Amino acid sequence: MKTTTIQSTLELIRFDRNLPIPFYQQLKVGLTDAIREQRLPGGVRLPSEREFCEYFGISRLTVRRALNDLTSTGWLVSQPGKGTFVRQPKVVQGTQQLMGLSSDMKRRGHTVTSKILKLALMPAPRKTAERMNISPEEKVVLLERLRRLDGEPLAIERCYLKHQLCPGITRYDLTKSLYTILRQTYGLKIIRADQTYEAVAASLREAQLLGIARRAPMLRSERTTYLENDEVIEHGFACYRGDRYKFHTVLLESASPVSEPFETISRNEEE
């Protein structure tokens, strides 16, 4: 276990046989309170059903009901052959500040590492060419990375960069912050990005890379990034694990409301 022992975990739970509250409910409340108060941090493995039974003198059915309820409501996660663990809290990323994942998570105290899955110079895909306002024959740099947060797979990012703005970028260490390289090496001033989100189900490849079940829920984003002269430098996509990621935004009342039609995005269309 990460920061606690089986004995100390059991001691965190208040259990009173004199209360007119079902035993399974007391166990649920005790575990939930400990998780909320961070006395049981994310990633901690819980005692086994047998250990709960022996310590509190209750039936395995009682323990199983409590753990199943907490698993179904998202407090716990069961890993076959390994045990039941406190679910890691979701990573929260804001939507108001333009910042790469590495920089954003670093300032929050996390460590982000990357593995390059694909790196190539290629003709621009149709959709990317449209977003960048270039011809499909123009070369772009394809960069696909598996991003890990504190050692655990979090996201798959695939972006296309306008090669004429960053020639030779494939020579650099792109496991590190891409935006830092664009700013410091090429002197590019990135000022804004248009970004959309949609819920999708994990493909077999995505599931294998992220360590999740096939068709597990994911949050997929599409981003188009602009320089100060309004030229597009990047167009890309990212798929984040639904159980480890959420985004936060602040909505303000607009003096001049703007209504735009919804766009239906198909994952089958060429990207």
Q: Which residue has the tokens 């590190």?
A: 176
Domain hosting residue 159, numbered range? 91-248
Backbone phi and psi for residue 270, each to the nearest 5 degrees, phi listed first: -65, 135
- Total domains in the chain come to 2
The answer to whether 149 and 102 are in contact (CB under 8 A) is no
Res 248: pLDDT: 62
**Claim to verify: residue 184 and residue 103 sit in the same structural domain:** yes
CA 49 distance to own-chain centroid = 30
**Claim to verify: residue 202 and residue 108 sit in the same structural domain:** yes
Residue 47 lies in a domain: yes
**Claim to verify: residue 238 and residue 110 sit in the same structural domain:** yes
138/128 Cα distance (integer angstroms): 11
**Claim to verify: residue 57 and residue 103 sit in the same structural domain:** no
The token pair that represents 256 in the structure block: 């001049």
What is the DSSP code (8-state) at residue 75?
A: S
The model carries a pTM of 0.62
Residue 39 lies in a domain: yes
Bridge-based pairing of strands 83-86 and 91-94 is unpaired
**Claim to verify: residue 59 and residue 126 sit in the same structural domain:** no
Enumerate helices (H) and strands (E) in the chain, giving the number of each. Answer: 8, 10
Which among 97, 104, 91, 95 has a CA at the least distance from the CA of 180? 104
- Each of the 271 residues of the chain gets a pLDDT tens digit; together they read 344 577 888 888 888 888 888 998 999 988 988 888 878 888 889 999 999 999 999 999 999 999 998 888 778 888 888 899 888 766 555 555 555 555 555 655 568 889 999 999 999 999 999 999 999 999 999 999 999 988 889 999 999 999 999 999 999 999 988 999 999 999 999 999 998 889 999 999 999 999 888 999 999 999 999 999 999 999 999 999 988 766 666 555 554 444 444 444 445 444 5
Domain boundary among 86, 121, 149: 86
162/138 Cα distance (integer angstroms): 9
